[in-house]
Structure 1
């Protein structure tokens, strides 16, 4: 444009910036400069905005032995050593899991071992259940047995938690923690010999979901596992898993029952139970009857969906 240094229409299209990410040690001056120039350009009628950024994230620093890692202090850890030993994905996973982004990260190389064990666990689970990946994912999920329903519900709960953690505040650490919980439940459900294992279509759904959720953190590992399961598409081009709130909704909840303020029992009840029914089930519980010793309650306090406190 030979007439003006900034085309207002184009600037209005691109600005403000959706997300600014910068180190906390530089944040004050960077924000001072950017806000100053934005307001000057606004006053000169080149821009229509007051602030240059919609969202701001200032990530913390990496700390080693109580001091900030820096070249001048000579306390920088060379990541190539960890990458050579554990791989790039394991090192990435450890860095993201160690702390939320806005907090300082206390460097501890021993934590990489935990990340390595987790990825190896995912690898073994997929290899163990490789046959289930030939099952049909279009099965009727509304007719699942109890164990399959529980795993299906946990998978959708994990999709919701991971999506929220990443999209709302870049908390990859809580996202990874949620995936670890799901992997643990898959492992328990599929190795419990006292009952039947979850249906193959549910194991397939849960394991594929794990890979899709882990992909932003450990892309090389997940892409390799995705191919191992017989997929002909690239995981990088696969849509993010859809979250179904109804599928994630708990059908049963645990209610604590107290007598005179002390926990005496826990009962499983329907998630949509009303307060009167909660009170009735609590009084009918055998353990509670023992503590009441035939006495008539003076008062019953019900916190819906959480607690029944019987005062005698």
Structure 2
């Protein structure tokens, strides 16, 4: 009889080091100062190995304090980001603060540009080729959509999905510096709005409360959780430049960064002009060149 599921995911444990005072026994993390001394008697404590949290070792954190200081979204985000779900999670106060700072940056990013993003809704992309900076941001957005979707659907790698969202947020932060003087119909605004809405939609499962608030700030009347999951456009995920391997008689002699879609004759000419290749063919007869577009040029020489 077959199992009613295709895969069993066994979650790891949440772990933290323990602290043991010679006088007072195991102490809570808050009962030990930064110099690893017992706050009650000032004696040095023994720092134990990192192991699963337990009441007996008192190597636990108070969820009420964490919720009060950082909010539920931060704790949820850190717990999913700190380790793959099948591995043990080592608790880190610095990691919690890092998750909190990330959410703060997302909040500021949306809050400062909310009006501009709202103005872009329903605006069509202009005809013709888009500026390179716009193409680059759209590529980052759609590459992130593709990666996050794979990580969630295929492997439950929440940590790498979140890492991709953090990279997209950084790309949007850098890009927004180009926005102050542009109008709603500018393709830079459209690309920025596309990236922000995709970011919030994908962040919602990890930080639902904040994502919902920011979604409402952007003027959407329907919950972000009713928004369709973004779909990556395969054409937009491709890098504009590709690495072409150049061989001489089957041995790799150079690697070239070239624009995608170069014709075979263009690739052959680029390879033959490359100084690292010329030294291997100088004084020899080029019999032929085998070209695989966007991938390989193999120059066959005799002599």
Match among 111, 116, 125 for residue 109 of structure 2: 125
Q: Does 1:87 align with 2:76?
A: no
Q: Tell me how far apart the structure 1 counterparts of residues 284 and 208 of structure 2 sit (CA, whole Å).
A: 59
- The 8 Å contact of residues 60 and 105 in structure 1, kept in 2 or not, is answered as yes
- The 8 Å contact of residues 213 and 240 in structure 1, kept in 2 or not, is answered as yes
Any unmatched runs of 5+ in structure 1?
1-48
CA distances 1:52-91 after superposition (whole Å, capped 9, x unpaired):
4332111111222321222343222223222221211111
Match among 139, 144, 155 for residue 158 of structure 1: 144
Please show how residues 1-312 of structure 1 align to structure 2 within 5 Å: 49-65=1-17, 66-130=50-114, 131-140=116-125, 143=128, 144-191=130-177, 199-255=188-244, 266-270=256-260, 272-273=261-262, 277-285=266-274, 288=276, 292=279, 295=282, 305=294
Of 167-176 and 273-282, more deviation after overlay is shown by 273-282
Measure how far apart 1:236 and its partner are.
Answer: 2.1
- Cα 1:70–1:142 shift into 2, 3 Å: farther
Q: Tell me how far apart the structure 2 counterparts of residues 187 and 102 of structure 1 sit (CA, whole Å).
A: 32
- The 8 Å contact of residues 301 and 308 in structure 1, kept in 2 or not, is answered as yes
- The 8 Å contact of residues 175 and 192 in structure 2, kept in 1 or not, is answered as no
Give the count of matched residue pairs.
Answer: 259
- Would you tell me which structure has more helix in proportion to its own residues? 1
RMSD: 3.4
Q: Tell me how far apart the structure 2 counterparts of residues 155 and 142 of structure 1 sit (CA, whole Å).
A: 20
Any unmatched runs of 5+ in structure 2?
18-49
Runs of 4+ aligned structure 1 residues displaced above 3 Å come to 254-263, 272-279, 291-312
CA distances 1:175-232 after superposition (whole Å, capped 9, x unpaired):
1111111112222223259xx8852122111101100000000001111111112222
Other-structure match for 2:46 = none
- The 8 Å contact of residues 241 and 257 in structure 2, kept in 1 or not, is answered as no
Of 204-213 and 104-113, more deviation after overlay is shown by 104-113
User: Secondary structure at 1:58's aligned position in 2?
Assistant: coil
- Cα 1:203–1:295 shift into 2, 3 Å: same
- Cα 1:302–1:85 shift into 2, 3 Å: farther
Of 151-160 and 128-137, more deviation after overlay is shown by 128-137
* TM-score, normalising length: structure 1: 0.70
User: Secondary structure at 2:60's aligned position in 1?
Assistant: coil
Of 275-284 and 225-234, more deviation after overlay is shown by 275-284
Other-structure match for 1:9 = none
User: Secondary structure at 1:56's aligned position in 2?
Assistant: coil
CA distances 1:239-275 after superposition (whole Å, capped 9, x unpaired):
2112322332333324477999687x752321x4467
Of 292-301 and 66-75, more deviation after overlay is shown by 292-301
User: Secondary structure at 2:9's aligned position in 1?
Assistant: strand
Q: Tell me how far apart the structure 2 counterparts of residues 296 and 189 of structure 1 sit (CA, whole Å).
A: 50
- The 8 Å contact of residues 253 and 276 in structure 2, kept in 1 or not, is answered as no
Measure how far apart 1:303 and its partner are.
Answer: 8.2
Q: Tell me how far apart the structure 1 counterparts of residues 113 and 199 of structure 2 sit (CA, whole Å).
A: 14
Q: Tell me how far apart the structure 1 counterparts of residues 285 and 97 of structure 2 sit (CA, whole Å).
A: 56
